[in-house]
Chains A and B, each alone.
Chain A
């Protein structure tokens, strides 16, 4: 617990967010998965140690983390935008995948699904 407070090496939130945006822009899935694990670990540590420390050192560390959060707010907005764009891009690509798998025909004229009715 003490180690966490003394150690200055909480990854800076700003760096984490910037790195996540960069990795998402370049579709670096491996790096993003590493970052997700890092964030889970960070959150777990904070919940276990920092947030529960009632002493003045804990308060100071929480204040420092709040400062980091404020500094990272702009980069978080960028990350949110990139995530939004990625969601839209993924939707387009999934749609393309469906088209290629033959669910639809280009031009929309031909329906290749099962026929209904009495034939």
Chain B
């Protein structure tokens, strides 16, 4: 009796369960194109068996809800890689803008740097020309003209860099506002999730939380810490608390030495955020490291050329016969910092160029020769002006290339993880196991390709060198 009743009950339950499972599948299909939606699978719970005449009889299973097939570990890995890719992408964009300033094709008449390398050569060549006829007014005019072009291009480049730095500063401050908005939303979501589903998956609320976390990862480097009752705490990568379950902690900003600094709970965390990742990390690295480094190189060039040329001009005799008091060609910089921005030509009368040596006849060219020879002397940080500039451009290109490499690899990593995440979480028919198999096959084949190509390239370089030598 009881057996028949139990059997019917199990069958009825099975039909109910099938219907509930179908509802879950229908929900998956209906949301197939919903951004961030995570596939759900029905949860089954075994019913407690009943004792019939000393024999335990199973009572079937009951569908107890649906669980999203998300995986926090995979999502965290994806978020971390996204933070790195986002930081290097933002930095790369800034560096490309910097590099374009120094591309000769940009043209020297615009607000770009023009061709400073050619400017340096032309300036010192103008002294070489003056050697032949030191009293020639046209040649003297040419010295001042080339000096103006050089100074103008250097100061334009510095002005552009300072302008770019200000833009990056504003962008970074804007990111802080977005971060605060997202952390507030995440704290609210934590409350809702903890209240609605403290022991299980919270479905769409968790999807929303994951989407917000992904967005936050684009902006700033974060760590995620799972807490009790399905809660989540979020810190910056250096450990400053941004969200503690239902409470968010705002980033604040303030100006320090004219640039925006970032504070968490009164502590200045700007330098930590710089290395933390996300767009903010990229903006801050470009603002506080890359651009200052380029500006410093330009400052060194401007300072050395200006002071050395001025010193020589003041140690000779100009066309008016002034001995040791001919005046400066360039504005004399007081210090290295700011020299590039301030670089300009202050001499207006070409007669004041001291082509002759001290006490010599005005037709003498000794000092003009000395000034032309500055081109071959190691007057800028132990290098000639042209070599210094050339090495600076090479180093800048190398940095851009390095960041480009990092960004390409990080973006590839994000693509891989998204592929896996989609296979696992989204509504499609891919099987997780086969996804992992594809991943492993790809890695193994790529390792083979790398090993062979590495050997081939090493042999090619080695034998190629031998061929060149022989």
In chain B between 441 and 468, which residues have their CB closer than 8 angstroms to a CB of chain A?
Answer: 441-443, 445-450, 452-457, 459-461, 463-468
Query: For the complex, what is the distance from the CA of A79 to the CA of B449, rounded to whole Å?
Result: 10
Taking the nearest CB of chain A, how far is it from the CB of B234, in angstroms?
Answer: 19
Known: A85-B81, A92-B73. A78 touches B405 (CB 8 A): yes
Taking the nearest CB of chain A, how far is it from the CB of B50, in angstroms?
Answer: 28
| Cβ A25 vs Cβ B411 within 8 A | yes
Task: List residues of chain B with CB within 8 A of the CB of A78.
Answer: 405, 408-409
Would you give the 0/1 interface string for B386-430, flagging 1 where the beta carbon is closer than 8 Å to chain A? Answer: 000000000000000100011011111101110110000000000
Query: For the complex, what is the distance from the CA of A80 to the CA of B412, rounded to whole Å?
Result: 12
Known: A39-B448, A82-B413, A95-B73. A69 touches B460 (CB 8 A): yes
Query: For the complex, what is the distance from the CA of A48 to the CA of B298, rounded to whole Å?
Result: 53
Known: A39-B456, A69-B457, A93-B436. A20 touches B450 (CB 8 A): yes
Would you give the 0/1 interface string for B158-192, flagging 1 where the beta carbon is closer than 8 Å to chain A? Answer: 00000000000000000000000000000000000
| Cβ B74 vs Cβ A33 within 8 A | no
| Cβ A35 vs Cβ B449 within 8 A | yes
Q: Which of B81, B401, B454, B465 contacts A66 (CB 8 A)?
A: B465
Known: A66-B463, A89-B416. A77 touches B405 (CB 8 A): yes
Interface residues on B, range: 35 or more
In chain A between 73 and 119, which residues have their CB closer than 8 angstroms to a CB of chain B?
Answer: 73-74, 76-90, 92-97, 99-100, 107
Tell me if B439 is interfacial: C-beta within 8 Å of chain A. Answer: yes
Q: Which of A13, A16, A25, A76 contacts B416 (CB 8 A)?
A: A25
Cβ-Cβ contact count across A and B, 8 Å cutoff:
168
| Cβ A96 vs Cβ B405 within 8 A | no
| Cβ B457 vs Cβ A81 within 8 A | no
Task: List residues of chain B with CB within 8 A of the CB of A68.
Answer: 460
Known: A29-B442, A42-B456, A76-B457. A99 touches B412 (CB 8 A): no
Tell me if B470 is interfacial: C-beta within 8 Å of chain A. Answer: yes
Query: For the complex, what is the distance from the CA of A66 to the CA of B440, rounded to whole Å?
Result: 32
With an 8 Å Cβ cutoff, the count of chain A residues facing the other chain is: 59
Query: For the complex, what is the distance from the CA of A67 to the CA of B466, rounded to whole Å?
Result: 13
| Cβ A65 vs Cβ B413 within 8 A | no
Taking the nearest CB of chain B, how far is it from the CB of A108, in angstroms?
Answer: 11
Query: For the complex, what is the distance from the CA of A81 to the CA of B406, rounded to whole Å?
Result: 7
Task: List residues of chain B with CB within 8 A of the CB of A100.
Answer: 432
| Cβ B442 vs Cβ A86 within 8 A | yes
| Cβ A74 vs Cβ B461 within 8 A | no
In chain A between 47 and 78, which residues have their CB closer than 8 angstroms to a CB of chain B?
Answer: 51, 59-60, 62-63, 65-70, 72-74, 76-78
Q: Which residue of B lies closest to A65 (CB)?
A: B460
| Cβ B73 vs Cβ A89 within 8 A | no
| Cβ B448 vs Cβ A63 within 8 A | no
Task: List residues of chain B with CB within 8 A of the CB of A85.
Answer: 81, 409-410, 412-413, 416
Task: List residues of chain A with CB within 8 A of the CB of B405.
Answer: 74, 77-78, 81
| Cβ B77 vs Cβ A79 within 8 A | no
| Cβ A63 vs Cβ B467 within 8 A | yes
Taking the nearest CB of chain A, how far is it from the CB of B95, in angstroms?
Answer: 16
Query: For the complex, what is the distance from the CA of A90 to the CA of B440, rounded to whole Å?
Result: 7
Task: List residues of chain A with CB within 8 A of the CB of B409.
Answer: 78, 81-82, 84-85
Taking the nearest CB of chain B, how far is it from the CB of A74, in angstroms?
Answer: 6
Known: A26-B419, A76-B454, A81-B409. A36 touches B449 (CB 8 A): yes
Q: Which residue of B lies closest to A26 (CB)?
A: B415
Taking the nearest CB of chain B, how far is it from the CB of A60, in angstroms?
Answer: 8
Query: For the complex, what is the distance from the CA of A45 to the CA of B232, rounded to whole Å?
Result: 57
| Cβ B459 vs Cβ A51 within 8 A | yes
Tell me if B71 is interfacial: C-beta within 8 Å of chain A. Answer: yes
| Cβ B408 vs Cβ A39 within 8 A | no
Query: For the complex, what is the distance from the CA of A62 to the CA of B460, rounded to whole Å?
Result: 6
A selection of 27 A-B contacts at a CB cut-off of 8 Å is A24-B446, A25-B411, A26-B415, A27-B438, A32-B442, A36-B445, A36-B452, A40-B448, A42-B456, A43-B455, A46-B460, A59-B467, A59-B470, A62-B463, A65-B464, A66-B464, A68-B460, A69-B460, A70-B461, A73-B457, A76-B454, A78-B409, A79-B446, A79-B453, A81-B410, A86-B443, A89-B417
Q: Please report B residues at the A interface, Cβ cutoff 8 Å.
A: 71, 73-74, 77, 81, 226, 401, 405-406, 408-413, 415-417, 419-420, 432, 436, 438-443, 445-450, 452-457, 459-461, 463-468, 470
**Given A32-B449, A81-B408, 9 additional A-B pairs, CB 8 A:** A20-B446, A24-B446, A27-B439, A36-B449, A80-B450, A83-B450, A89-B413, A89-B417, A89-B420
